[in-house]
Structure 1
């Protein structure tokens, strides 16, 4: 029995990541998340990997038993138990000792000599076949600092003191089991991780298992807000469950079952275990003569991948002839035997924006609607169908360029939006990362400075929350895709196909063809081609020189040229510089996009410095040119879900020592937030409603302290979601009025008077959100004629969709400083201007209406979507 460790959250701290059990006829590997491999191939529990060897679920553990008395249990996280029969007494070696009844000689090294200390002992038992060539030998690490205040708090009844409380949950057990070692280990972790509740729960759980194994009763200690055990559908938590639960084929494995309690999620009445899920008996899977069990719908290949089999209901197995595609190979990969992609390709959309297809074609397209990046057009399986699209926007008043403001992924009946600022919406609700929807088939997490989404069939989507999106697909999709990213057939010349498979005349036509009307915002519009700033501009040569760093053979990107040719990135950079008139931020974005491609190819360039494109990192973090793709988080110090091997590093702001990711921020370890029983994470200070009616409001404070109380919206408010967050917001329309003589009544009823001839902002969007386009309405006053002290409106300015509407006296209207004839309904998409007998009326599709009589009366009406914004 050997175990592989990995770093846990911070330097000098490790935890289990894999357990290998080598037996005479087979090798079994226990993985995080309670997954299991037999001879490198993933199996569904229960299973008989070889004669006399049994695998199954027991409480929180995956358990292996043999006929010769070996018993190995691992919870897929931090608790591993190895039990042997007395026949092995005095015949064993390793970190577990020799089992001769004498603990004084349990410090022998692999050569039989005594170790000088625990570091020497551990290092001597490192295996020669370690799969991780960069693994760190154990080094002496100073004990974590624990000031008197923290030590007193951590040893108290709210933390490690629970383990030794003679009136607590382990009252009976403490009469028979020494808890000193459990308490000391708990204090070590609590000091090192500043009271992180997740680790306290682990120590409480370990103590529970030890007591129950010894036959001693444990009192209930888990609560909804303290160490809740998240149970899968159709099951409930039990402190005293049967060690061998009812399965679809109980007795199939022949496992020995004791009569002692175990902590577990027990299936509800009428349900039994199928793998690690509770299903009705009518949905039980199939037994295979070779000793394997398959769930209903599970697929597997026979040797050579010449047949594909599927488990149907009533224990029926159906097989059909199969052949791997040209872009696939038949073999074992990541524990799964079958047809696998031989490689992968990446499409990027970056900057303003430039689309580099899977096959290397380059398109420049400046539309501000939502467009299909890629989707399968001729897929064999709905299980692997997806759509990736992106929404663009103009920024900074520049209509010549646009940027990606949101990326949308539809997969497994989920609707996922990756938004600016690394925010994420899942089925219309804002979620904190990481999350694993669709029964873990989709992972969404922070990865370096990206939000990363990846699926169990190989799709990866990365968005930096600003301008850069990368979509990676396995080669099994070769020739099966369509969209702005092309068809992935290794031919860049046909990457200009429209949905009807006919070639588009140029990039503008291509982009327009892949617009998603149902997902595009009112008022979005199409622009394209080469920015006018590039046409015979005297600065064009200087802008070219700005981008020359990309192709400089002695520059910081030179080591990458052989693996990622820079020509397309250079062309995109020049295009962006022309469109932004040499903007430094745009230049840095172009260089970042190429650096990301290089990092994917294993060549992460160190190209930034303090004066050139510096990456400003928030408190608690520092810049790294090659950050971890799966950093530790408050909710997952020891992530039970493997980080995919193919994920590249990327430049990022990595949390410094003593800090950890909480949502999107690095916080001190002691400032981690709260995890709900269902798994949702909330940073400290966050407030959220648990009911769709806004009747229960919860807040999070440190040490996973969630406080909830009854709440109601005010009479003039209603409960609804904006950007995925439930809030009490004003009902009806908001109205701001100027009833006369420069007296204003605000949306919330306050009164203001303005007595000058200046221009003032009446309303603008101060807190932009994905679904709320920016607008601004201003007004200029003038003195009344005749020498009076009265003031009246002179002009009203409406800035929307990077255009300006000016309302003047006598129903006179200017659009972008040019007079227009009313009604004007097509000059600005999504905006109409008309006149009535009294008012000039501007209607905007986002629900905003402006009415002006050309003299004293002005009325601005807004929908509730702009409440508080």
Structure 2
């Protein structure tokens, strides 16, 4: 049950409409008045009010058999405050924290506020002897409700909604025990919002009219407060509808009239015809779809496969991204089905030893399924059921084997793909196998925590123990399980390995970094380089391992060798220029007569179409061809396929080599996102991308030119990809190839008479020619206006926002000007404020640019951009949620208006007052954002004016307190809390989990740090480090470096000040991914007595939750009063923890200079490796 959802609940991950009957009516859920009510046949009832209040009723047989925030139900209130470890506490905040792991904020009220809120106008109404609730409060003890009301009012600073919630909770409790309360609501005080075709009645009796008995809410009492249907309407699924619009029930779930839904394993599609009538018809998912639950809905969705890799000596990356190495030489189970699936299979691989080495590599791979045993050898020879087969080969309708570049590839129609060649193995499966696999590739459960699952069902920590458990019985293969420890590597050789393997961080590979993070491959490269004693051939093989993984991800790096040590022989400086002929390159084409022997690739989901005139879909595609305006061209029709489908055509073989210019004309007009046009050169059985364009380019033909230098016969592949909607018609025309560089072509060669020039790039600092959206808010809010219907407004402001630990400390433009922001302290959770632009009468592609600032610990705070057209149709085109760090960020948003339009900025207040979202320097530019230069932004300035750097001696870290530590030798005087479910780990180098955690420590790049391993815990688990006690109760500055990199939601780090032995107050926190880099934090501590510090790391929603800390130090005095020699910047920016890029660069240079005389060459190279890995 979700507080914001009153008409549906989620059951086992699937949204179900209310009312709901489950397990043969053993469990029912429905809406009653302002509450969601869950009831069971064993007399458990849960009432969840819109206010957030929860009431739980349990039968007497559960007395002294329950625990939690509601106590133990033993009829003794003295022991209700027991925490999970059995201890009895007195502090309710300690009790709450022990139950949820999230610290709560203490309410703070002044004496005047307490007196105000305790009066009968506010919370005092609950306990007043002459008030509306006097009849009930004389029977029920209202003190606890009064205290809760006071707490909420103090916390929210008198929010009227908090008062209404408190009164509503007490009124509902009175009603449960049979005491009627006089009507206390009215149209101005705590009004109830009812749904369409219904109205509020403070005293209604009897059962409401329903479409069926299953629609009954169970609310049939006398004088009940609820919303009731208007005359002529009745309840259907919790909503008021006309009799002819009654819905249907199926398997305890309610469906609206005309609503469709899937049944079973998506083998039936059903539709509610109304009044309980349901019509179903057989169906099935397409070959590229899987039946699964997505966003709470069961249906057929496009497959999104995951890959397991084995390569090198050998190294493994599981389906869930866990990387490890193992040197056994036996036959091992790579992956097999270990649960219920339609098709059972097993993949095994034999490893063979390397000459004069303790390592191994893949020798052969086998696929076993019912009636079929396929073996692929390292020479790509394929055997089926014992006999050699020639490729390509098919086995029934489900399995085919063919050669694909350097691999022998196995494709199936049941969601499995296998590629093996050059001692590299890639296994891909789709979502239907989630949670039902096991073997060396892990479990594909979405978590790395259980990847090391043995055949006996045990989860182990050691890779050698795990891999050895999956050894198969193979009497024909002599083997050993290898050493559990990697071979030692001399420090000098290891330094050299890091230097050379760090090539993977360089520009030659950067196009793939987003798709395949290089850190894992750098680590495996270092290992293989050490084992091979620095062999160059092995180094190139390791780099090629990464390139191969990129190609599996469909990212091609054709020239990587030319920029690395693996470059063999330089190409001649002068390209040979044989005279081209039609026989050697026969495929220049204007498509007017035919397709000139260009071929459609049959494995695509749809084809290119040869066409003349306008395309069938409106608002997309050209009106005619490029050549004459009345001829033919090739295009992809977006109306006939699905998002992401691709169509490819391939040219005939061209035998000319050397420098050549490929020329073509393209047309990309439409409102779809992610429509694409890609060009590839296919040479030596490898396809490399040479040109790409994405999204709407305007309703014109444009010329594209690519200079290529093939050394062998080649072909060109043109690929069109359908975008997010049918307005995705991509077209090409007049394809030709000429010898020589593109810029040497003559006017005659280019046929410039039909050239449609590219749109000129505007000066982005100039105002828009037709629209008045540009604003830096320095003088006023320009032509922007506040929406009068909002519950609160945006605020024009300069300097820091009033609420601490949220919002910017200055504007973006100058550092001393104005910006717009929403004050989280002036609203409640979920409230929104909107800024509306002036109308723009320029309906063509536009780029909206804005700088935004989202800093604060509040959950669900956010910023959205809407495109408003036709007066009242608003479409969300961009959004950002949660804390994004204490800095300004640039956003560019493509707008595709059909008519005149406006823009809306919507700021959303999150779960707490730390929700200050800000915008500045808004501008609108004609054209697509992708075509804009990168230097369009107003120069980013420091958040405060530069001041001369005043140096003074930094107070020594308080070593007497034992808090300062770099963790290089041990964890100093810090200790682990024994009550935690897992601990912090002292570690060096990269963390085991891919795409999370640092690659090295902060101090030297080769030392140790502390981190929490997300793979060893579950969502919400916390690990705490406790400092030694410090007997210096005066202002202190705690300084530390932290690293929070990973895709896990809710991972976090908190700092607590512990005093009086057991009173911990949160003084700093950070949540979510902060990027793959170390960040500096400084926290002011204000102890009253001797104290300790707690670092609490929180595991997020997935294993990619590795949070790390390093270089902790404590300094006497306030942080703002100390000038730290290792960081430039004024005290304000330090206090706000806003490390601007310019300051980071200065600090980096200073840090290098300071260390220069103290570190070894090895450490210097390690630092270089760390800096590259951050990039």
The bucket for the TM-score relative to the shorter chain is 0.3 to 0.5
**When you count strand as a share of all residues, which structure comes out higher?**
1
Higher relative contact order (Cα pairs below 8 Å, separated by 6+ residues): 1
TM-score using structure 2 length = 0.31
